[in-house]
Structures are given as C-alpha cells and as structure tokens.
Chain A
C-alpha cells in the first residue's frame, strides 16, 4: 500500500515537473541523440476480421520509427494499462510511470476491400495530444502505405521535419557472378517491401533516377548494344529511348526539379561532357567543353546550378556551375578523389562518393565545400541518394573478392544508424523517390 502511494506521489510530482516543460520535440542535431521512448499499444481491430491487418500495420509503424534510430519502443510487457478502445480516455499517469514520452494509439477497420486506419499521437508528459487525429482509407492491398503514412505523421509531429517512410526506391537488382552479372531495374518501398521488376535482365541497365514526382525513371541501357538513356513510365512500365545529342554513349542522366529537363553525360571521340536536353522543345545544350571527363551532374533544388565531377585538375573532384554551363568552381579539396555528387533536397548539402587510400566513403559537405563529413567507410561504397526529407542517405556497398556482391545501405546524415536495406538478391544504384501523395 505504502509503495503504491509513493509511486503515485512520485508520478504526480513528475507530472508537475513535466507540465512545466516545453511541448515534446525531438531536435535532430548532430549531437548524440538518446532514442526517444514511445508506447505503441496494438492498433484496435474495430471490425471482425481486421485483427491481422491491425497487427501488421502496428508492426510497420513501429519498424519505421525504430528504423530511424531516433526512437525506442517500450515493450508492451511494461505497460501498466492498455486502452480497451480507441475512444477511451488516455491514462497519462500510466504512461508517465513507464517513462513513455510519446504515445501512439490507433484503430483499424476493414470493410469490403477497404481498410481505414485512424490514429492519435500524445505528448505524455504535457498530457496533451500532438496535432489532431487523422484517418487514412484505401484498398486493403495498400495497408503498408497507410502504416507508412501514420509513421510519417508521427515522425513529423515529434521532430518537426517531414517524414520519408511513404516513399519508394528504384534500384538495380543484381544476380549472378561478378563476371556475368545480370541486372534489371526494380522498384520497392523504402524499407525493401513490395519489390516490382521494371525490366528483364537481357541487357545491362545502370543508375536509374526517379523523376521529382516519381512518375518516370531515367536510366542507362545497353539495349541497342551501346549505352543510351531510356525513360520509363513507372505506372505502365513502358519505356523509350531519350533523344539526346548524338554521341558514342549517353549516360548518367538526372531530371530537373520540374521534370522537364534532363542533364546527362555524352561521350564523343572518347571525351565525356555534360549536356542538357529540354523535353518540351527537344533542344540540346552543351554545358561543358573540356578534354577532361565531366560526368555525374545533379541539379540544385532551385534548378539554378549543377554540381558535377570532373578530372580536369588531374583527379576526380567536385565542381559547381550555373545550370546554363560556363565557368565552374571547385568545391572539393580534401585528400583523395570525389565523385557522384548529389544535391540534397534542402539545398544545403552535397552528398558524394570519396575514394582515398584504397577505401571508399559516402560523405556530405556544404555547397561551398566546407564541413566535409565522411559517413561510411568500406571496400567499395558509392552512389548516394537522398531521402525526400534530406535526413538519410541510401547507397550501394560492394564486398571484396571473387564472390563480391552489392547491397543497399542507409545512413543518417550525422553518420549514425548505418543499416542494410533488405532486398531479394544483390542490389545497387538506388534512387530515392519523393514522398507519395
């Protein structure tokens, strides 16, 4: 009895202190972050037969949040009480007592082929709801997307930043030995679920790039026997060759933010330069003309500038020029070689591949080249791509030796939370698409 009373007293005391606190907000800084503990009781199954999907959705929400490395799920065995229904009042004291900072409650109903998911997020220590409850409805086979949308909302309300869970990644699926590797395009959810193949493996395909709204994919294909750029419509899986300036080889394409222009590399007489093709007018513009290799161009989010790599100094380095070409300024000055620069969706950082002393790294730097930070190190890391919110980078990692295989990894821009992304077989060249609507 005495112990119970003391617990109660402590809880009241703690709650009072908490009330004086600012509302719950996880600031995503470069410092060490203690994962934020949250409670996620299983979403209520509100209709008969919806238990399975309710359980599945709860699990995906938890996986999304835990996968960021920013949150820690409190085991259900620690719960003091569990709400009997979605509309039950929140027993804040019970959640405070187990130090849950955030509480996520939800419910799922399945009727016909439709599933609806509703949820609310609570700031436990201030005893208030964060934002308003939301409900998503869709077809049953889209249940994973609904779970990702719930997790995106939770992430966004707690961190103040946009989420990235309801997004897809296009990549190259790889099978077979190193000297006879079969490659085909595939698209999947950001977490590796729902893999769908977009091409067969009859020819080499390389480096797919999503359009800004995710409707199309640019990639390099050897279909004609020579490297050319194809445009693939994601919904119909129809593809056609992009008409570029004539050359021996066209590769390394990327869309502009409005999806109306493509920048790419074109090789002529063995010399590779950067070109831009306007999809509406069909006009081709040459942006660089140097005897050196200029490749891997990427637009700034506002479309005014292009970051690219060039070996004009003798080794691969990063440069920024106007979107209309002209003079370029070098931004990479550290030891080693720099390639595959990609402008972050926020515009403040450039992700790149760095090769130094026999190792490969994925890194980020500011657009003036300052504050270079290497996030990974391995035998061969390359080809970074940004999560739509600019917080996470996905890339390819190839292992060493005759049995070497490639797989996808993700890492936070702070260098924390390196994780392998699950794919059915080998995988390379990821391109992260936008947050879906």
Chain B
C-alpha cells in the first residue's frame, strides 16, 4: 500500500538493483509496520519515508562512483551487528572494504561513524556498546589504509532508532554503525 508511492518516485531502470534493494527494505518495513499497526491499533504511528531514511534521496547521481550517493547506496553506508556484539561479519567487512576504497579515492571527505544499539538494554550500556561498534568500523577502515585523522566516532546508543517496532525485524536494523561522510578539513 504505502510502498507503491515510494518506489514509483525513485524507480530508475538503470539502477534497478538499488531500487530492488530499496523495495525489499521498504517492503520489510511495511510488513513490520503493518504488524505493529494491527497489534497496537495505531496505523498512523509509522511514516515509512521517515522511517526508512531512503526514498528521499534521488538515485540519479549514484551513477557517479565519486558521489556521496554512490557511497551511501551502492557501496552502502552502514553495517549491522548481532545482539550485544561489535564483531564485524564477513558481509560487513566487504562493505567496509568498499568504504575504505572510496575514502582513499575521495580524500577530500571526512567520515563520522555513528554507532547505534537497539532498545533492549539500559541507556548507559547502549551508549558504550554504540561506541564499541563505531570503533570496530573505524579500526577496520584504518586497517584498510584510511588515515585515522579523517575519522571520528560518535555513539547514539538507543537514542536514534531507524525502525520503531519492538521486535527483531526492527532491532536488527537499529544495531548499526553508519559512516556519514562530508567534505571537510582534517583536524
């Protein structure tokens, strides 16, 4: 239902892969959102566009491999973690290898790595856990050759969930480290 609007808006045949990924993600979110809506009788509580954080960015520029859009969407700006863990899965390592490559090619960019946790856990512990996750990503990027002074880390603990339901379908998206890039001068 809600998914149709988002996908139509962003659909570009040349980037079918991304659109497909987005559709899958949005679909998954829509499913979880529907589950919640049914369970809590509150269909208005979920705004898919806000929640997914995608569907807002035009996919056009993603064709340019030096664009931030390419970094965010094609390489992938985030990696996910298991419950309570900060270990990088092989899949996460391959995303981060791509990030490192991009950052070394595009040396004007700085990165802030945001570590996040799901809502299961106390506020303080989750802040510390988010710091561990952000740091695991930073260490990996540095090991791949990115200069350490181009990277900062910040933990948001459980303060900024991406998906808002209270089950694993949302928790797994929230246990994340996001590499946010911006043009800047190294300190």
Contacts and interface: CB of A to CB of B under 8 A. Distances in A.
Interface of A: 177-181, 204, 206-207, 225-227, 248-249, 251-252, 265, 267, 269-272, 293, 295-296, 309, 311, 316, 339-340, 353, 355, 379-380, 382-383, 398, 400-404, 429
Nearest to B135: A270
A342 to B, nearest CB: 12
B132 A270 contact: yes
Contact of B161 (A179, A227, A382): A179
Contacts of A402: 33, 36-37, 40, 42, 45-46, 164-166
Contacts of A206: 123, 127, 159
Contact of B45 (A177, A271, A311): A177
Contact of B166 (A267, A382, A383, A400): A400
Contact of B124 (A225, A251, A404): A251
A72 B127 CA distance: 44
A207 B42 contact: no
Contacts of B164: 177-179, 401-402, 404
A404 B166 contact: yes
Given A178-B164, A293-B128, 6 more contacts: A177-B47, A225-B154, A248-B154, A270-B132, A380-B119, A429-B123
Contacts of A181: 159
A206 B158 CA distance: 11
Nearest to A224: B154
A287 to B, nearest CB: 15
B127 to A, nearest CB: 6
Contacts, number: 128
A249 B121 CA distance: 19
B124 A340 contact: yes
A429 B164 CA distance: 20
A400 B122 CA distance: 15
B152 to A, nearest CB: 8
Contact of B40 (A178, A340, A403): A403
Contacts of A178: 161, 164
Nearest to B136: A270
Interface of B: 33, 36-37, 39-40, 42, 45-47, 50-51, 86, 119-125, 127-129, 131-136, 138-139, 152-156, 159-166
Nearest to B53: A179
A226 B154 contact: yes
B153 A270 contact: yes
Given A226-B154, A270-B131, A379-B166, A204 B159 contact: yes
16 contacts: A177-B45, A177-B47, A178-B164, A269-B135, A272-B132, A295-B128, A339-B121, A353-B122, A383-B122, A383-B123, A401-B36, A402-B40, A402-B45, A403-B36, A403-B42, A429-B123
Q: Which of A207, A269, A401 has the most CB of B within 10 A?
A: A401
Contact of A180 (B40, B50, B129, B166): B50
B40 A227 contact: no
A114 to B, nearest CB: 44
Q: Which of A178, A204, A340, A404 has the most CB of B within 10 A?
A: A178
B45 A340 contact: no
Q: Which of B40, B128, B133 has the most CB of A within 10 A?
A: B128
Contacts of A400: 166
B123 A249 contact: no
A227 B155 contact: yes
Contacts of B121: 339, 355
Contacts of A296: 122, 124-125
A30 B46 CA distance: 45
Contacts of B42: 401-403
A225 B127 CA distance: 14
A270 B125 contact: no
B153 A248 contact: yes
